[in-house]
Amino acid sequence: MKLELHIVALMLISALLHASWNGLVKAETTDRLVSFMVVMVSGGVFALFFLPFVEIPAAAALPFLLASALIHYVYYFTLLNAYAHGDLSHVYPIARGSAPALVAVISAVVAGEFLTLREVAGVGLVSLGIGSLAIGRSASGGGDPLKATIFALITGALIAAYSVVDGLGARAAGNPLSYIVWLNLLESPGILIYVLAQRGWRIMPALRKVAGRAAIGGTIATFGYGIAIWALSLGAMAHVAALRETSVLFATLIGTRLLGESFGARRLAAALVVVAGLLLMNLR
């Protein structure tokens, strides 16, 4: 089941937003954990603003909301551990590149969304192109590449899991917007409590330095994943996941254009493979 052109366009915007907020968090040198907390709490603040304007999700969506919140908490744990052992350029492509193929398998099993042979080939090319960006990259500064890779692969599996859960949950909710709002409300408190327990009153100096940039990142992240959940609710979850993970390419472009990093022949080849995969999946 192919996506309509406007959904494809919105998902590419979602991917760009995802790459942008990750870039903001990555660039933070004061306290990355506090910055991450502000990003997540910002989503909760937006949810509180929209809460009076949305109905309570249908009861059928409650198990999906709870499951998604739990999966997201584990995902944050594995993601932060992956970054503790490896570089962003090593971890991010592995985690995001493994997710589309896993979503294709899971959505076929639990939702009956079977892909054609051409679409399977497209998902494979997208995953291959994104994952290849991690080839030859290892942890710097005393990290552990093996641990980074293991945590990144677990993170990819969790990304696939919450993508499918949120797709099914948004459909069961009756209104995807209400599902998005309530998911943000469930996610934010746990992150806030954890960081306060870790940092205590030491959080204040760092908070004053990172709050502005991280709040911008949180705004971008909330709208970006909100678009993704809305698209997931319309079906073709494997297509949505593949489009969302093009965020890796946007992150690469941000690095080359804004940070002066070299694009290189390998990155160009990877980008062309991803584009070929997306064309296979979405051209009628």
**Mean pLDDT within 43-64:** 93
Answer with the residue of higher pLDDT: 224 or 264.
Answer: 224
| Per-residue pLDDT reduced to its tens digit, 191-220 | 899 888 888 888 888 888 888 888 888 888
Give the per-residue pLDDT at 170: 95
Using the predicted structure, report yes or no on whether residue 272 has a pLDDT greater than 80: no
**How many independent structural domains does the chain possess?**
1
Q: Using CA atoms, how far apart are residues 65 and 243, in angstroms rounded to an integer? A: 23
**Mean pLDDT within 61-87:** 90
User: Cβ(138)–Cβ(94) under 8 Å?
Assistant: no
Contacts of 234 (CB under 8 A, 6+ apart): 3, 7
**Mean pLDDT within 77-95:** 78
Burial 28-49 (b: 16+ CB within 10 A, else e): beebbbbbbbbbbbbbbebbee
* Average pLDDT taken over every residue of the chain: 83
Ranking 98-102, 135-139, 163-167, 278-282 by mean pLDDT, the lowest is 135-139
Give the per-residue pLDDT at 167: 94
Give the per-residue pLDDT at 1: 55
Q: Using CA atoms, how far apart are residues 98 and 96, in angstroms rounded to an integer? A: 6
Using the predicted structure, report yes or no on whether residue 137 has a pLDDT greater than 60: no
Give the per-residue pLDDT at 2: 62
Domain interval for residue 224: 5-282
Angle, vertex CA 125, rays to CA 80 and CA 26, nearest 5: 25
Considering the entire predicted model, what is its pTM? 0.85
Contacts of 275 (CB under 8 A, 6+ apart): none
| Per-residue pLDDT reduced to its tens digit, 100-113 | 888 888 888 888 88
Q: Using CA atoms, how far apart are residues 69 and 182, in angstroms rounded to an integer? A: 10
| Per-residue pLDDT reduced to its tens digit, 26-44 | 666 677 788 888 888 999 9
Give the per-residue pLDDT at 59: 95
